[in-house]
Amino acid sequence: MSELFAEHKNRLTEYINTYSDRVDFLTIRLEQAEETNIFLRSSKIETLSESIALGGQVRACYRGGWGFSAFNDLDTLIDRIEEAISAARMIGDSQTILADVAPIQTTCRVPLTGSDPREISLADKKKLCDRYNIILREYSKSITATTVSYSDSSQQIIMVNSDGSAIEQSWTDMEMRFSATAREDDLIQTGRETTGSRQAYEDLTNLDQQVIGAAQRSVNALSLPKIKGDTYTVVIDPILTGLFVHEAFGHLSEADMAYENPDLLEVMSMGKRFGSEELQIFDGAAPIEAENNYIHRGSYFYDDEGTPATTTQLIKDGVLVGRLHTRETAGSLGEQPTGNARCLNYHYSPIVRMTNTWIAKGKTPVKELFQDISEGVYARNWLGGMTNGEMFTFSAGEAWMIRNGELAEPVKDVTLSGNVFKTLANIEAIGDDFYWDESGGCGKGGQSGLAVGCGGPSLRIKNITIGGNAD
C-alpha cells in the first residue's frame, strides 16, 4: 500500500475513538480502487478506460438499527460519520446482537503468482482483446456478431472498527468474457465463455481454445436438433456442478435469506438430510487451497467486517451442518461468524455473500456415470440460468443424448430445471473428477459482479426436467 494511503489509518482510528461511545458499533472502511475496462462489440470499441477512485463508507449500529453513509471526499468524513450515527439512532428500537470477533491489527495482501495487471499497458490489454476478437470473427462466415470484454480491479482497503480492529488488505481481480453469435436465415445461436483470475495477468493471455470453443458452439448449434422436452437422467460436467451448487444451493445457505424468512429457516434447519452420505458441500475464502496452492476468485484473508476467512462445511454426509454469516446474522441465530460479509465496493453495505463454493469429489469414475442409462442427457458448460427460491433453471452450453450408456447425437436448447432439494436427493453418483470454475460474477442485493469461485465433480442426477420440443 502507498504510504499516503496507509497514513489514513491513524486518522480513521481517531474518529472511531471519538464517536464510538454514541453507538453500539461503529466501523469505517476506506478503499482505493484502480480499474481497467475494455469492451469490444464486433469491430467497435465501446469502452476503453482506466480509473482510480478513493472513497469509503461508515456503518453505525444502535439498538439493532443500522446507519450507512458513503463518501468520496475525506474532508467530509466527519459529516458522514454524523449521518450514519443519526440514522442508526433514529431507527434503532431493539437490541444490537453481533457475534464476537477478536480484535485484529494486521496488513495483508492476497498474493499474485505472476504479473500484476497494473504493470501492463492499456495498449497491450487492448491488443489482447483485439486478438481474441479476430479469432471469434474469423472462425466462420456464419458469425455475425461478437463481444470481448476485459476488466481488472486492484483494491486496497483499510477497515477500522470500535471493537479495536485495524486491518489493511489488498487484492487484484481480473476477468474476460467472450461471445459469438452465429446466424443462418432466421436461426440465431450464441456461444459464450467467461474466465477470471486473482493470480496473474498471464492467466488471461492464453485463452485461444476457450475463445474458439465459444465460436464453435454458436456455429455448430445452427444445425443441431432441439432436444425433446421430458424428464431424464442427466450427467452434468464440473462446470455445471459449480453453477448448480452456487446458484441453487449456495444462495439458500446465506443466513440473511433464512434470517428474514422463517419458512426457509425451517426448511434449512440444521441436521436435516438433503442427500446421500457421499454428498459434501463447502464454502471458503481462505486464500490458499491446501491441495494445490491455488488462489480462487472469492479468496481473501478478512471479510468486509474484519472477520477472518474460514472454510464452512454446509452439508456433511448429506446432512445440513452449516450456513454462511455476517456478524449480525450469526449473533441473531446463535451461530459462529463465518467471514462471509462482503460488499462490491464502498458504495454498498456488506451483506452475506458466498466466496468459493464447491461439492467435494466422489468415488465414481466418470465413465461409470453413464452406465445403465438407456436414454439420458450429458450437459456441459453453461449459457445462463436463474433461481427463484428453491427452484432453478439453467441453460447448458452444449449437450449430447446418452443412449444405452454411450454418448450419442449432440442436441441444443437444453434447459435443466427443478427443485434444489429434490435434485440434491436425486444425485445418484458423484464423479471422481474435479474442476474449479473461476468465471463467477455473483449478483445479490443490487451488488452485481462480485468475484466468486465455484467447483465440483461430474454428477449423475435422476428425474431432471429438460425443456425442449414437445415431440
What lies within 8 Å, CB to CB, of 244 at 6+ separation is 236, 392, 394, 423, 456, 459
Asked whether residue 307 falls in the same domain as residue 163, the answer is: no
Asked whether residue 428 falls in the same domain as residue 319, the answer is: yes
Asked whether residue 448 falls in the same domain as residue 413, the answer is: yes
Looking at residue 469, its pLDDT comes to: 57
How many alpha carbons fall within 13 Å on the CB side of residue 450? Answer: 28
Q: Following DSSP, what letter does each residue of 114-140 receive, concatenated?
A: S--GGGS-HHHHHHHHHHHHHHHHHS-
Phi then psi for 382, rounded to 5 degrees? -145, 150
Asked whether residue 166 falls in the same domain as residue 258, the answer is: no
Work out how many domains the chain is built from and give that number.
2
pLDDT in tens, 210-269: 999 999 999 999 999 999 999 999 999 999 999 999 999 999 999 998 888 888 889 999
Looking at residue 5, its pLDDT comes to: 62
Asked whether residue 167 falls in the same domain as residue 246, the answer is: no
- pTM for the predicted model, two decimal places: 0.95
Q: Per DSSP, what are the bridge partners of residue 294?
A: 289
Q: What DSSP state is assigned to residue 366?
A: G
Is residue 411 within 8 Å of residue 227, measured between CB atoms?
yes
Asked whether residue 170 falls in the same domain as residue 239, the answer is: no
Looking at residue 439, its pLDDT comes to: 87
Asked whether residue 166 falls in the same domain as residue 249, the answer is: no
Among 223, 258, 280, where does a domain finish?
223
Asked whether residue 207 falls in the same domain as residue 240, the answer is: no
Asked whether residue 93 falls in the same domain as residue 210, the answer is: yes
Looking at residue 234, its pLDDT comes to: 98
What lies within 8 Å, CB to CB, of 452 at 6+ separation is 246, 297, 298, 353, 354, 355, 356, 357, 440, 441, 442
- Residue 270 has which C-alpha cell? 440444521
Rounded to 5°, angle at Cα 346 from 39 and 75 = 115
Asked whether residue 103 falls in the same domain as residue 32, the answer is: yes
Among 171, 199, 223, where does a domain finish?
223
Cα-Cα end-to-end distance for the chain: 62
Give the mean pLDDT per block of 10 residues along the chain (471 residues): 69 96 98 97 95 96 98 96 98 96 95 96 98 98 97 97 96 97 95 94 96 96 95 97 94 90 90 97 78 78 96 97 97 96 97 97 97 97 86 94 97 95 97 92 92 96 83 47
Domain that holds residue 75: 3-223
Residue in 294, 309, 371 with CA at minimum distance from that of residue 340: 309
How many alpha carbons fall within 13 Å on the CB side of residue 396? Answer: 30
Asked whether residue 15 falls in the same domain as residue 106, the answer is: yes
CATH of the domain at 190: 3.30.2290.10
Among 178, 201, 223, where does a domain finish?
223
Instruction: Scan for cell 454524523, then name that residue.
Output: 82
Looking at residue 383, its pLDDT comes to: 85
Radius of gyration of the chain (CA): 24
pLDDT in tens, 64-114: 999 999 999 999 999 999 999 999 999 999 999 999 999 999 999 999 999
Asked whether residue 207 falls in the same domain as residue 288, the answer is: no
Is residue 14 within 8 Å of residue 129, measured between CB atoms?
no
